[in-house]
């Protein structure tokens, strides 16, 4: 039996509430609310324009706090309005639960206890994705979401699609979001991670009814398309702004240089050749003309070739946005080697023909690949020579 007073006092002390967005969940909503109320009366329900008897069900629970509007806006808007209402009521945290009966209120203490050590983190309830009745499409979608979340944030997690989450709304009050539907739950994680909020997970239970009893408002084609567009935008922002921003911040931290020097440059378990190859690959990938995919390709090759990922990552930033014009100019100038009538500078004229465009594009691409190879080889040789002079090679020591 639940000790209601104990848990309710914990919610009160931590200024936390349970937030339940709902849209036409009349069959399950009453059970969900009774379950939650056995733990706390700090409950906010957002009625996202339901057209069934949701309002009548809510009338039977005068102790809950309600946010309501007439037309359905989508889960993203429901959560955003719920966050805003919670902040206005003085709450610092909300735990979101779905109204379809999949989540168990018995897991509320699991998330609540995380506040003892994590005061500014989003805690996601990680589901067992191998359990009975779990839809196969959910497992695929979650793996798909986990992959892009890793690309966009560098963070690995078991479940990025669970709606059972603890949000530190006090730390998110100045954030402005774009998304209005299901994709909001991806946006909020990625952009919060960019902001510096920790993302963590805690194991929870989940109930998936048989397929014939399942109710879902997820529209596969339309919603998946929205999610794909969002991920495309987030990836572009990641590689054009977030990664360079984080790298520049890294450069201005003394501890970053100490970590790089002791953990990666002086690492006794790696040979001089491996370290030099890591830098050479990074420089090569930073210049090769696959803009937008340089970093992810470089890291994939580093894993495949078992190189030092940190050195590859750092060296790849040879093409930071401030350096891009110089890299493009050097690539075009280098391409003159392969184009008989090429010039050092691109033609600054409005009378461009298709043949001229093709020639200049060919000159740039061949020049960029050539420059990438030359710069990568030079970086490899330079680093190898410097390491041979100032650092003993573990292979030679072993011999």
What residues contact 181, with CB distance under 8 A and at least 6 apart?
A: 74, 75, 76, 223, 226
The Cα 11–Cα 118 span in angstroms is 15
The Cα 231–Cα 225 span in angstroms is 10
- 113 or 344, higher pLDDT: 113
Tens of pLDDT, residue by residue over 323-335, are: 778 888 888 889 8
Tens of pLDDT, residue by residue over 236-267, are: 888 778 887 887 787 777 776 676 666 666 66
Torsions phi, psi for 344 (to 5 deg): -75, -35
Domain limits, the chain: 4-249, 268-397
The Cα 19–Cα 40 span in angstroms is 12
Task: Please say whether the beta carbons of 185 and 231 come within 8 A.
Answer: no
* Residue 397 pLDDT exceeds 60: no
Instruction: Return the sign of the alpha-carbon dihedral for residues 59, 65, 70, 72.
Output: negative
Query: In this predicted structure, which of 64-73, 128-137, 350-359, 367-376 has the lowest mean pLDDT?
Result: 128-137
Q: What is the chain's Cα-based Rg?
A: 27
Tokens standing for residue 161: 């699609």
Tens of pLDDT, residue by residue over 371-381, are: 999 999 999 99
165-167 vs 93-96, strand pairing mode = antiparallel
Tens of pLDDT, residue by residue over 14-60, are: 999 999 999 999 999 999 999 999 999 999 999 999 999 999 999 99
* Residue 1 pLDDT exceeds 50: no
The Cα 29–Cα 48 span in angstroms is 13
Query: In this predicted structure, which of 5-19, 38-52, 220-234 has the lowest mean pLDDT?
Result: 220-234
The Cα 377–Cα 374 span in angstroms is 5
Q: If you average pLDDT over every residue of the chain, what do you get? A: 84
Using CA atoms, how far residue 308 sits from 28, 141, 245, in Å, is: 52, 31, 22
* Residue 131 pLDDT exceeds 80: no
* pLDDT > 90 fraction of the chain, expressed in percent and rounded: 44
pLDDT of residue 207: 79
CATH of domain 4-249: 3.90.550.10
The Cα 281–Cα 299 span in angstroms is 10
Burial class (CB in 10 A: 0-12, 13-18, 19+), 354: exposed
Task: Please say whether the beta carbons of 307 and 278 come within 8 A.
Answer: yes
Torsions phi, psi for 195 (to 5 deg): -75, -15
The Cα 82–Cα 66 span in angstroms is 9
**pTM confidence score:** 0.70
pLDDT of residue 357: 77
Question: Residue 135 CB: number of other CB atoms within 10 A?
Answer: 13
Tens of pLDDT, residue by residue over 136-183, are: 455 667 788 888 898 899 888 888 888 999 999 999 999 999 988 888
The Cα 385–Cα 389 span in angstroms is 6
pLDDT of residue 265: 65
pLDDT of residue 244: 79
Strands annotated E in 288-330: none
């Amino acid at each position: 039996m639940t000790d209601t007073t104990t848990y309710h006092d914990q919610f009160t002390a931590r200024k936390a509430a349970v937030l339940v967005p709902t849209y036409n969940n009349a069959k399950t909503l009453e059970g969900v609310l009774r379950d939650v109320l056995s733990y706390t009366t700090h409950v906010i329900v957002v009625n996202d324009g339901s057209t069934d008897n949701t309002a009548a069900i809510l009338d039977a629970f005068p102790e809950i706090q309600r946010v309501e509007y007439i037309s359905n806006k989508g889960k993203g808007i429901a959560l955003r309005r719920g966050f805003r209402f919670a902040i206005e009521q003085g709450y610092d945290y909300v735990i979101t639960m779905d109204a379809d009966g999949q989540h168990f209120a018995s897991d509320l203490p699991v998330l609540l206890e995380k506040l003892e050590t994590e005061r500014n983190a989003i805690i996601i309830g990680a589901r067992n994705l191998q359990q009975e009745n779990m839809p196969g499409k959910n497992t695929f979608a979650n793996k798909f979401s986990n992959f892009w979340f890793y690309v966009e944030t560098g963070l690995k997690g078991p479940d990025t699609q669970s709606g059972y989450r603890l949000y530190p709304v006090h730390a998110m009050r100045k954030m402005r979001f774009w998304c209005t539907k299901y994709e909001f739950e991806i946006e909020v994680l990625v952009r919060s991670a960019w902001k510096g909020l920790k993302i963590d997970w805690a194991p929870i239970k989940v109930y998936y009814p048989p397929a014939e009893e399942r109710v879902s408002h997820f529209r596969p084609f339309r919603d998946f398309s929205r999610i794909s567009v969002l991920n495309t935008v987030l990836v572009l922002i990641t590689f054009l702004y977030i990664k360079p921003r984080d790298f520049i911040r890294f450069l201005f931290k003394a501890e970053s240089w100490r970590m790089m020097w002791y953990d990666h440059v002086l690492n006794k378990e790696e040979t001089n050749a491996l370290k030099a190859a890591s830098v050479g690959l990074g420089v090569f990938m930073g210049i090769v003309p696959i803009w937008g995919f340089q970093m992810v390709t470089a890291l994939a090759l580093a894993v495949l070739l078992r190189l030092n990922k940190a050195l590859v990552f750092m060296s790849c930033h040879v093409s930071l946005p401030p350096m891009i014009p110089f890299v493009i100019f050097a690539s075009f100038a280098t391409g003159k080697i392969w184009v008989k009538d090429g010039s050092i500078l691109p033609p600054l004229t409005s009378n461009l023909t298709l043949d001229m465009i093709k020639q200049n594009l060919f000159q740039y691409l061949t020049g960029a690949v050539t420059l990438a190879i030359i710069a990568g080889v030079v970086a490899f040789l330079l680093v190898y020579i410097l390491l041979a002079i100032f650092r003993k090679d573990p292979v030679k020591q072993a011999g």
